[in-house]
Amino acid sequence: MIAFILIVTKPDTEEQILSKLSEHEEVIEAHFVTGEFDIIAKVRGKDIKEISEFVSKKIRTWEGVQRTVTALSIKEIRGKSAY
């Protein structure tokens, strides 16, 4: 199961949180972004419970994380990429 975790951080903590995310095997990729959220992380878990525990027992406990929103992937498609 894939989910996207949208994270709001305290100012100047983005790099610290990106570093912490990179230490966890659940994280496929993470991006520092513009807009309402500061970081978007793509994560993988065997089920909703595993993803929920990763968010609630890890990410939400980190200093600098103010708020998260979790969006579960319903369907994935892959477009033609120039890369």
Output the CA–CA distances (angstroms, integers) from residue 22 to 41, 78, 81, in the order listed.
10, 24, 25
Residue with tokens 């966890």: 24
Contact 45, 51 (CB under 8 A): yes
Half-sphere exposure of 82 (CA within 13 A, CB side): 0
How many domains is the chain built from? 1
The answer to whether residue 45 sits within a structural domain is yes
42, β-bridge pairs: 4, 29
Domain residues for the domain of 55 are: 2-72
Convert the pLDDT of each residue in 1-44 to its tens digit.
Answer: 999 999 999 999 999 999 999 999 999 999 999 999 999 999 99
Whole-model pTM: value is 0.92
The SS3 assignment for 27 reads: strand
For residue 49, the domain's CATH number is 3.30.70.920
